[in-house]
Structure 1
Amino acid sequence: YESGGRRIAIITNSGGPGVLATDKAERLGLEVAKLEDETMEELRNLLPPQCSIKNPIDLIADADYNRYKKSIEVVCKDKNVDALLVICVPPIFMPSEEIAKAIIDAKCHKPIIVNFMAGELVKEGVRLLNVHGIKNFPTPERAAKALYWLSLRRAFRDQNSK
């Protein structure tokens, strides 16, 4: 897994888990990145008006394949973001595999950690992520902790390369 830095972006389709991830990340010393103006403008043009374009980015409950994929790609280009935490509370009308495919298909060169909530209901989506080497954690807090460990790995690597 590519090591991430301390500046993270959180993309979610539910505000509550986004807040839980933000709180845990900040307690661990991670920085919920301030997105560049260009990133927020691109998100504003891409997303419905009721979505939050500030980090954590809330795609709202009806987020689909395209909304996830395009949002990940836009945020991934932001120079202020080292790693992404993508949260999905699967909507009843969409199988978790669709969101998993969006995460897999998104063109992003930065580390992505995922939190698919709903246990048994998302097992196919989680399986698909695993096949593609993308790690899923069962809670937003544990996903944030995984990003923390990735940031430590990067800090250690950077320190030893001097």
Structure 2
Amino acid sequence: MCGPAGAPLAGATLTLVDRYGRQKGLARAGADGVYELSAPDHDACTLVVSADGHRPRAVQVAAGSGPVPVDVTLVGAGGVRGTVRHPHTGRPVPDALVTLLDPHGRVVASATTAADGSYTLRDIAPGAYTLVAGGYPPVASGVALGPGGTHRLDLDLGHRTG
């Protein structure tokens, strides 16, 4: 079990599911990223791997009569945070809706700004997105998120920032 840099990913949860959706095994990766699961039959299964701060992953595995090594690398999930401000006064805008869209226009995440105009969107897969803050007038900005970490993007309503 590895994280995005190839380092062992301790504590990842691994679930083995059969073709009918029944759980066949459950394990946690050790400090060295190593895990062991036993499949009671020889059918193909799906191994679902998840860990805090990472995008989950599912891989097909064929159970055999002996150990079957399966290495899985998880990509770190990132996020975006910032502050929405009024373009003329510079004051924070509370209760503004902030929406993150993928390149196909699908909503990936959304949040409402706090009293201080701040917002945070978490557990976002790496990629290119459009961030929109509702208000009068609304504003949209492109944002590219890498694996892990949180990108900061402040928005002034009515002004395109990127």
Give the TM-score category using the shorter length: under 0.3
Which structure: greater strand fraction?
2
Q: Which has the larger radius of gyration?
A: 2
